[in-house]
Structure formats: C-alpha cells, structure tokens
Structure 1
C-alpha cells in the first residue's frame, strides 16, 4: 500500500521480491555469490570456459582485436546500434540510446510524465475500453437514476404546460410557459451536474488503478469510495450553494429595484465568475477522494493545482464538454424525433393549431432512454478527463510520477534519467 501523504493508491504494491522489472519481465532474484576457488582446486578446471576466452590467473589479458564492421551506406561506427536494436534500448527507464531521453514508463493507460491534450483524452478512452466491466455498470446505474428523477420532475413541474401555436396565446401565458420551462430545465441540469460529480468520484478509484495498470471492479470502487461519500455530498452542496448565492448577490438587487439593466449587468458578471470558480475547483472531487482530505482542504488543493494553468485546464475542459455534447446530441436526436412525432402529435398538431402535448409520459420517456445511453458513454469520458487532469497537475507540480512508479512496481525509476 502506498502510504505517502497526499495519494491514496488503491490496492497493494508488489513486494520487493515480487515486483516486475521495468522492462515488463519478471525480476529474478540474484543467485548467491560463489566463493572464489584457489588455483589448485580441482573444481576450477570444471568451471573453466573454453580456451581463448580468458587468460590464466595472474597474467595480463591481451587487448581485444577489433572486429570488422559491416558496411551499409550509413557510415556505422563500432558500437553504434544495428537494425533491430532500438527496441531493447528503450525498454526500461534510463536505458542508453543515441536519440536522447528514452520514452517515459507507461505501466497503465498514461505515461508517467506531464501529459498532453491527446494523452489525457486517449487515457480516458483507454480506461473505458480496458476496464469497461467496472466503468459501464457504474455509469449506467447513475444515468438511469438521474433520468428517472428528471422525468418525474418534468412531469409534475410542467403538468399544466401546453405549448400552442394558436395566435390567441397571450403574453402572460407565454411568460408563464417560459418561466416553467426554465425552472424545470434548471432543476434537471442541477441533477445532471450532481450525477456527473458522483460518477467522477466513484470512478476515481477505477482510473487511479488504471494509471498503475491494475484491474478493478464495481465492488472495489464502492468499498474504496464509500468512506468519503458524506464529504463528497458536502462538497457538492457547497459548490451548488456557492453558485446560487453568487447569482443572488449579483442579480437579485436589480430585480428588487425593478432595474432591468442592473439585473442584466449582474447576470453578465455572474457568468464569467461562475466559469472561473468552476475551473478553479474542478479538481476538488478527485482531490477529496484520492487524498482522503476534508471538503475545505479539497477546495484548497484544487485551487493550488489549478493556479497558473487556469486557461489550459479551461481549454481542455471546454473541449471535453464540446465532444461530450456532440456525442450526446447524435445519440439523443433520434429519440427526440420519436418523442415529437410518435407521442406529441408531430407536425399535424402544429398545422391545425392544436396544442402539442410534450408532457405526456411517452414524450418524456423516449428522450430519457436516449439520454441514459448517451450518458453511459459520455459521463465516464468526462470523469476520466477530470481525474487525469488531476494526476497531470500533480506530476507537473509535485513529481507524482515517482510515487506512481513505485506503486506500479518500477524499480529504480527516476534514478537514471527515466
């Protein structure tokens, strides 16, 4: 077990006698040293190699004769690697090689060095593909719970809402309809964000094992994340409460003073502040789960890790959100069309001016099924990017790669330039 402060690695590291070598092969124990035999011992001749490979004891060995080197047009000098020799030279950290530093060790889904954008995205996808038996059940259950709650909320909050194309609809009815829609959407989005945070926390243990090249299961993830669940709930509530209070402070004065301009100005200030705080604390959840810290320490750790790289993390998070949104839209769109044309009257209802019933059970359940499928795929991708961003920042700031290498059983990592 990795007991160093600030990192709670699931599972146990191999013992020193059983750890694999850094080239991926099992490390064999060194044979016991044989005592030197005197020159006259009869055992000496039995262990002697064929003549010509060493001189008699006490004599100076002759200088080795240079061997002719094959010519092949590249001007190879004695000692230069031949074709097919490059792989073994780079098979372990610190291996010699003519092309500079060898590749970083990669015991799991990412190399143990500062990560690029492509490596973070690839690491998240590789974890989903390699550890799908643990990833998909967690996301499927959470996505189903989130969508069931969302359908119930929409059904009862929009029960009296009927969007009609009739020109007789007055402004008051239209405002009420828009207000109800915004309110229901806000509740649904909050539930979605909450589910995403919970999935990120539960999958943190799966991703931390994947970084080390270790397998995990749903029961392992549950057992390792359960002690932090209450603190996770507190962290999630504080994040939501902070966003609401910030919006109330900036927007509510304009509403109470009946000053539309002031309210709009407060809203325009609230949005960038909310984005800044969201990125600043985006690593709080993995810090809480992996470091076994308190809620406020997790906020502090996230702020410290993000400091100086806000724009980079913002860009990666924004790109991840765009990719996830595109994939979700492609999956949900057919179910949305099914909801409109099969359960809501479709274009015929709009043509004859009859209200389109978008709040019956069929119209709500059809897109919910599409969202369950989409979120089962998208949520682990977003969660994985968040966890790998946390690992990347700790590698850059705190040299976490050395600790991860020891946990993965890589001997002498970092002592020879690896």
Structure 2
C-alpha cells in the first residue's frame, strides 16, 4: 500500500497518526499511555465513577445482609466472635475483591469507546462490564496465586520467612508477566487460564516496559487521590478511594491496547 505524504511549511512530512479518541492509533510510548489515562478520566470520569459506585452499591447489599446477621448473632456472648470471624470478615474480603474486579471490568468496557472517541452511558458501561466480572476476577486471582505461589510453597514446606527474600524477584517477574490477564479476560472474553496465557504472550519482550508503566500508574493513583483530597476537602476524600481503583486499571488497559497495536 503506497504511503501518502503531506506538504507542510515547505517540507514533506508523513501524516499524523489518526486520533479519534484518547490515544493516537499507533504504538504508544509511556507518555501517550499516561496522557491517555488522564484524558480518559477527564472525558469519561464522571460516568466511570457513577458506574463504579452503582456497581459497588449492588455488591454492598449482600454484605449488608451478612453484616446484619452477624450483628444479631454477636449479641450472644458465645457465638458472637465466631460469627464475626467466619462470616463478616470473609464477606468484606469478597467485597474488596468484587470492587477490584468491577473497576477492572469497567475500565475494560470503557476502552473501545474511549479509544474510538464514542460516547458512553452509565447503564451501558454496567451492561458491558458486569457479565465479565467472573472471568476478570478469576484471572486476577490466578495471577495473584501464580505470583505468590513460590512463597506460599516455601512457607508450607516450613522454611522461615526471611528465606523468602530470594523468591521476591520471581514473584515480581510473574506478577508483571500476568499483569494484563484481567484486561485480556474482559476485552477478549477469555477464560482465566487463557487470559494468563494471553498476558504472557503480550508482555513477552516488553517486561520492563510493562513494569515501568504499571508501577508509575500505581504510584500516581494515591498522589492524584491526595491532590483531590487537598483541593476539595471532604468531597475529595470521599471521591479519592474511587480514583484509586480505576486509574491503574485504565493504564493497564491502554498498555494492553498498545501491545495489540504492535506487530
């Protein structure tokens, strides 16, 4: 296919890459990815936050039922502590996992319209994200299990905790290798195991780049939350935790798009 050139300012320059949405449709640099995250939050942040809060509210209702039952049971001296430990704490942990999976699924659902510059709605985001939550959650749990597996096996074998330090690089390598698995599960409709294989294929040859982008996005999330809190006070403090969830997921999503755009 012949390449077209554009004459500008007395010289011949190749045309700019098309940019219908938040990123140019070409292989991306770290600056493009982080800039795309900020642009996405600026254009779609309100709808993303609304979908996240509504989804978390729906997940909170079963927790509230369990909490009420645990509170009633705790009125008895003998069963109260057992009910609290065996019902309320695991339910709270499941809610946190659900919130993380929901944020990832929503970020993935936002990818295609954000990249193409299309409008989105809160109900539309939820309809696209909710069915993929089980696969996204499964991929995230498998990725965590793979990263923590060597250390857990060493502890199960009776090794002292300080002996796990040499395994830290292995855990880090595996964690980055599978960092794109939840995004792949949501975007491509893959099962958890297939998503892990897809992430490994995409990260292969770009491990350091993946590590750098994800680490920087993870560091920017609490910084942005602090700025929000400092600028808005109590309303910012209420919004800040919601910002901590989608920002790193959006960065992973745009990094995934970048890996897909590359030959």
> Is this a same-fold pair by TM over 0.5?
yes
SS of corresponding position for 2:6 = coil
Structure 2 CA distance for aligned equivalents of residues 284 and 329 of structure 1: 29
Aligned to 1:265: 163
The Cα of 1:378 is off from its aligned counterpart by 3.0
Task: State whether structure 2 residue 214 is matched by structure 1 residue 314.
Answer: no
Contact 2:37–2:250 (CA under 8 A) maintained in structure 1? yes
Highest relative contact order (Cα 8 Å, sep 6+), 1 or 2?
1
Task: State whether structure 2 residue 41 is matched by structure 1 residue 128.
Answer: yes
The Cα of 1:393 is off from its aligned counterpart by 0.7
| Deviates further, 195-204 or 118-127 | 195-204
Task: State whether structure 2 residue 25 is matched by structure 1 residue 96.
Answer: no
- The within-5 A match list for 1:80-91 is none
Check 1:249–1:273 CA distance in 2 against 1; reply closer, same or farther (3 A cut). same
The Cα of 1:372 is off from its aligned counterpart by 4.4
Structure 2 CA distance for aligned equivalents of residues 298 and 390 of structure 1: 12
Aligned to 1:395: 261
**Higher helix proportion, which one?**
2
Aligned to 2:76: none
Aligned to 2:83: none
Q: 1:374 aligns with which of 233, 237, 240?
A: 240
Task: State whether structure 2 residue 11 is matched by structure 1 residue 114.
Answer: no
Task: State whether structure 2 residue 140 is matched by structure 1 residue 236.
Answer: yes
Check 1:382–1:137 CA distance in 2 against 1; reply closer, same or farther (3 A cut). same
Structure 1 CA distance for aligned equivalents of residues 176 and 97 of structure 2: 14
Structure 1 CA distance for aligned equivalents of residues 257 and 31 of structure 2: 15
User: Unpaired runs of 5+ in structure 1?
Assistant: 1-92, 157-183, 256-261, 335-365, 398-418
Structure 2 CA distance for aligned equivalents of residues 189 and 331 of structure 1: 26
Structure 2 CA distance for aligned equivalents of residues 375 and 141 of structure 1: 15
The Cα of 1:309 is off from its aligned counterpart by 0.6
Structure 2 CA distance for aligned equivalents of residues 274 and 317 of structure 1: 15
Task: State whether structure 2 residue 171 is matched by structure 1 residue 274.
Answer: yes
Check 1:223–1:391 CA distance in 2 against 1; reply closer, same or farther (3 A cut). same
Contact 1:331–1:370 (CA under 8 A) maintained in structure 2? yes
User: Aligned-pair RMSD on alpha carbons?
Assistant: 3.6
Contact 2:102–2:129 (CA under 8 A) maintained in structure 1? no
Contact 1:200–1:380 (CA under 8 A) maintained in structure 2? yes
The Cα of 1:327 is off from its aligned counterpart by 2.9
Structure 1 CA distance for aligned equivalents of residues 55 and 124 of structure 2: 17
Count of residue correspondences: 236
Aligned to 1:252: 156
The Cα of 1:333 is off from its aligned counterpart by 8.7
CA distances 1:5-41 after superposition (whole Å, capped 9, x unpaired): xxxxxxxxxxxxxxxxxxxxxxxxxxxxxxxxxxxxx
So what's the TM-score if we normalise by structure 2?
0.74
The Cα of 1:252 is off from its aligned counterpart by 3.3
Q: 1:196 aligns with which of 97, 100, 121?
A: 100
The Cα of 1:251 is off from its aligned counterpart by 2.6
The Cα of 1:284 is off from its aligned counterpart by 1.0
CA distances 1:193-224 after superposition (whole Å, capped 9, x unpaired): 65334311122121211101111112222222
SS of corresponding position for 2:194 = helix
Larger radius of gyration: 1
- The within-5 A match list for 1:40-79 is none
Structure 1 CA distance for aligned equivalents of residues 31 and 218 of structure 2: 15
Check 1:330–1:252 CA distance in 2 against 1; reply closer, same or farther (3 A cut). farther
